[in-house]
């Protein structure tokens, strides 16, 4: 019977880690089901080892030392899940990194045998990741990105287009231009939080271009 409580802790760590990772997998994140299972299982294992070492040696002074190393060491996994998306010019993976770190903490709690506390932390974590997702989407308007290729016949129209884009809440991420015979060829990368469709963008620039394409 001596090892049964520890086996229960390990099984719970696999179940809870898997449920957390399942949500990340459904969101198409690299750090998904297996990663979270291993993080939670490994953390629980470290704390169980600390308990066993202390029990065998009759010393409980350093029982949390190995767990502290997990908290500091798990950062390499979190850092690996954070990437910079050059296409959309933004950082991705911060929620996943935070989830990995919290999963490790849950594993430590399970490893010490505090089942109810671990389950309560898990429920709060799932609420934050799933229950608040729709609220987060409402708070952050959807960002649209457009690649605009346009030709104009007068240089003055370039300034007019730039001013029109800015006044229409279309941020210019990048811009390049070149002259081909009597025409100016302009390439834009645009970002906007406003509801602006491709057809509306084409109609907006109608007075200025000779030809246009939006992707």
Least confident of 5-9, 80-84, 93-97: 80-84
Same domain, residue pair 208 and 111: no
Last residue of a domain, one of 139, 156, 177: 139
Last residue of a domain, one of 80, 109, 139: 139
pLDDT digits (tens, 9 = 90+) for 54-78: 777 766 666 777 888 887 887 777 7
The pair of structure tokens assigned to 34 is 């297996």
Count Cβ atoms within 10 A of the Cβ of residue 183 and give its class: 0-12 exposed, 13-18 middle, 19 or more buried. Answer: middle
Total structural domains within the chain: 2
Residue of 76, 14, 82 whose CA lies nearest to 42? 14
Please provide the average confidence, as pLDDT, over all residues in the chain. 80
Same domain, residue pair 126 and 194: no
Share in percent of the chain as helix, strand, coil (round to 5): 60, 20, 25
Q: What is the DSSP string of 34-49?
A: HHHHHHHHHHHHHHHH
What is the share, in percent, of the chain residues with pLDDT greater than 70? 83
| Structural domain span for residue 195 | 144-214
Same domain, residue pair 129 and 207: no
Which CATH number characterizes residue 195's domain? 3.30.70.260
- Quick check: 142 pLDDT over 70? no
């Amino acid at each position: 019977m001596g090892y049964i409580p520890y086996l229960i802790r390990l099984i719970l760590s696999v179940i809870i880690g898997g449920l957390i990772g399942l949500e990340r997998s459904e969101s198409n994140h690299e750090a998904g089901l297996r990663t979270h299972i291993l993080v939670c299982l490994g953390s629980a294992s470290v704390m169980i080892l600390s308990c066993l070492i202390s029990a065998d040696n009759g010393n409980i002074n350093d029982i949390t030392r190995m767990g502290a190393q997990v908290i500091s060491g798990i950062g390499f996994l979190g850092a690996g899940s954070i990437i910079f998306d050059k296409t959309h010019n933004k950082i991705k993976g911060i929620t996943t990194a935070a989830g990995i770190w919290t999963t490790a903490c849950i594993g430590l709690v399970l490893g010490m045998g505090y089942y109810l506390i671990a389950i309560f932390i898990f429920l709060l974590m799932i609420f934050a990741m799933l229950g608040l997702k729709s609220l987060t989407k409402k708070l952050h308007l959807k960002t649209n990105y457009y690649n605009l290729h346009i030709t104009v016949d007068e240089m003055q129209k370039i300034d007019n287009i730039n001013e029109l884009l800015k006044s229409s809440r279309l941020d210019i991420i990048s811009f390049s231009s070149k002259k081909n015979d009597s025409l100016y060829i302009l390439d834009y990368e645009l970002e906007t939080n406003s509801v602006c469709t491709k057809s509306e963008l084409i109609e907006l620039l109608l007075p200025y271009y000779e030809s246009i394409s939006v992707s």
